[in-house]
Amino acid sequence: MKQEIKVPAVGESITEATIGSWTKKSGDFVKRNEVLMLLETDKASVEVVAENDGVLTINPGCEAGAVVQIGATVATLDTDAKPAAGAAAPAAETAKAAAPASAPAGAAALPAAAGKDASAHLSPAVNRIVNEKGLDPSAIQGTGKDGRLTKGDVLEAQPGAKPAAPKAAPASAPTGAPALPAAASKQGDKKLVPMTTIRKRISEKLKEAQNTAALLTTFNEVDMGKVMELRSKYKDKFKEKYGVNLGFNGFFVKAVVEALKDFPAVNAWINGTDIEYHNYYNIGIAVSTEKGLMVPNVKDADTLSLAGIELAIRDLAAKGRDGKITPNDLGGGTFSITNGGVFGSLLSTPILNFPQSAILGLHKIQDRPMAINGKVEIRPMMYLALTYDHRIIDGKEAVSFLVKIKELVEDPERLLLEV
């Protein structure tokens, strides 16, 4: 029975996808639930698995890199076929079968010692000249240490030369260090790799944000001392009870939600000639993956506890790393947070996740001298950056929004009590 393998629906607004790669090839016998291919859309990567055992046949024009329509048949699976017997012979038997039992009659055998000494341990420069000139290394007498071939030996040799009798090694090594083989130049060594569908979409969205929004960034700094103390005190009990680490992102998500309630324009965006306000809080968390930067979002973050937020962030990060992010995970965000501090960034100006109107940038926590009540103290400080669309958010709102986040994070008891 031939079973069609079709491109699955991966989102309401998505009509086509790109075949990123096939993990199997035509003629392969595959088992049920094995991954056959990876589909890429402008929002996510989706794995397509075999629904039954069978032999795979990929349709013409459906190779890696092909753009296919949702619902199109890209391959078939012959569920009646069985694995070919003896399809893969053991390597040792294959090598044994390929090797002749004895040398052909009349063939001249090469001296074993000469062949071994001359051809072993060729330097990269010597090996390149040997290949370019089509030389037989065993036919060249080496003048280097232990009879090894030097660059000079192979430059002077002529193709077709017969094996030479070994010469006696020199009584002593020549004075002075031998000249090192010249390193091959890498000028012009480059390759072109097509952009993935996701990378193209990331580029388009970032450029759209720059071309459309009136971007402006405001900065502040937050003393992370109290949050760090709270985290240090309860992290073990938190992990034991909820099965997830107590990080810093959860505190900032809760602070952002409270600040958005006070400044609703930051949770809105421009829709044509209207301002679209949102009475829900879907907070995007930027995740760096092999495919590129993705921003899945924590849905209804205002309804979640600190533990619920941390669990949601953990699950989204895992899905991003495993290539299992869905369009639903990526869609619907109203505000985003990006944390360059995990890579060591001290300060940055993040770009909007368009059409959103603002994004919060977190950075590295660094001990710095601060003036506290007339005295200099060393405090763990973090710079905050808020990039916003000045068309909809005034400077006063942006600065006040960021100050609100600073006040809440510096007073985590107030944040958790929501007072």
Active site residues: 390, 394
Instruction: For residue 380, give the amino acid letter.
Output: P
Instruction: For residue 86, give the amino acid letter.
Output: G
Asked whether the beta carbons of 361 and 348 are under 8 A apart, the reply is yes
Instruction: Transcribe 193-261 into DSSP letters.
Output: -PPPHHHHHHHHHHHHHHHHS-EEEEEEEEE-HHHHHHHHHHHHHHHHHHSS---SHHHHHHHHHHHHH
Q: Measure the CA–CA gap between 169 and 49, rounded to whole angstroms.
A: 64
Q: How far is CA 231 from CA 226, 253, 346, in A?
A: 8, 15, 22
Q: How far is CA 267 from CA 100, 258, 339, 406, in A?
A: 76, 11, 19, 18
Instruction: For residue 46, give the amino acid letter.
Output: V
Element (H, E) at 369: strand 366-372
Q: How far is CA 232 from CA 178, 236, 246, 247, 393, in A?
A: 60, 8, 9, 10, 37
Distance of alpha carbon 317 from the chain centroid? 12
Element (H, E) at 380: strand 375-389
Strand order in the sheet with 45-49: 45-49, 35-40, 16-22, 67-69
Q: Measure the CA–CA gap between 110 and 93, rounded to whole angstroms.
A: 26
